[in-house]
Structure 1
Amino acid sequence: MPNSFLSQGIVILGLSLGLCACNTVDRMQTSSIPMDDYRVRHPITLSETSRVLDIFPAGGPGVLDQHSIGELVTFGHLYRQVGEGPILILYPTGSGVPGHVPAEAIRQVLAASGVHAPVRVGSYPVTQPALASPIRLSFTGLKAKVATPCGEWPSDLASGSTIQGWDNKPYWNYGCAYQSALAAQVADPRDLVEPRGETPPDTLIKARGIETIRKGTDPSTAWTTKNTAISNVGGN
């Protein structure tokens, strides 16, 4: 009988040691945003950077064509939204520009778009005279961009010789392209920090909804759709 008790004790002790060994297995800790999440690894940041516009005037000497005017108007709206300081106009040197446009004509288009910033004129050297050289405009403004470069692969996705990449975690470059596209598409970088102020509510629309509910009818908007029979398309 004592021998059987001793054998049972040895078995229980062995099982306990086995359970203790299992308890040392490394486990992944989860949280609301894991440290390997793409929003933490590739964050979008706001920075003061140069905004550049290249125009190729094609309206003849001293004339801005409609395409170039449209680009300048859009550039002016962008300056009014996120720009600060002077606007720099650089003319190429060492190569002819199709229809040289004076800076005053460019300034007038910018002023018509609501830009009242100082304009400075300079030049830049042309490295390839055989290619068309644009008139380059630039200003310093707020821009959203990803703080880390995309396309980096510091570790193998599925190594055959090691267990590297077997952790079932996002790979390093995951989400970088998505974050870069989101930063490039946002109209105002400040919208990524906080929402814009709300506009005043439409009093007439609110009153109409309240009156409709008081009458016991459906306050939703009724949309009427008129469909055309397939047999009537194209005539008889």
Structure 2
Amino acid sequence: MTTATGLAARGRPTRASRRLALAAVCALALTACDRIRQLEMERNAEAVAMSSPEVRHPIGFAPRTETLDVEVPPGADGLSPNQQVDVYRFLRRFRREANSRLVVMVPTGARDRAAIARSLQGIQAQVAEAGIDYRILRGTRHAAGEDTPSIRLSYRRPVAVPPPCDDWSEDVGRNEARIPYPNWGCATQRNLALMVDNARDLERPQAEDPRSAERRSVTWSAYVGGDAKSDKDAGSDAATKKTPAPAASK
């Protein structure tokens, strides 16, 4: 006869109580195993972070404004050839590295408004041909130290900021924990930030340029005409086209 507490009449645990106790012990063991596994995963994540230069010494980014001043001398009939080249190059740089809208600042209060209008029309034509969205701001805009008014083109782009590499607080000769020293990987990150030409390459992948239409036409013509050759055939042809050795003199 058993009591309500799960004990036999003589005070011994019943079979059901033993099963419950065993299940509780197993559940506790599984919980402990899960906790140990979670701690190991956290330690591994910390170890990976401490061994990654990108995490320990991240490269920062700061905005920078790029400008181009197009001077408008009195009586100017649009843009000069040199100014057209300057605007073209500036727009190419804008498409490659800008992360903002193109701004065109037009001077006001100048005497020769017709010359400014003609120069602005030339700039707008090049911007429209490049397919770039822009906005026009009107205000006083003169070249530095000169009385000649100028039309300013500007945009903002990111600049890579190198991390500081000045933490030599630990002894690099003795490390029982095998943890990288504080400056580990910093020089690589710093050199990369100083050398990169376009900081947008570090932020996200750039779009691919279209393939050459001329080269595609040549390749397709060779394929259709049956002249397409594999690398193996090209190598054999190169071997057969070698200059033969001169005949031995009699």
TM-score by length of 2: 0.45
Higher helix share: 2
Larger radius of gyration: 2
Higher strand share: 1
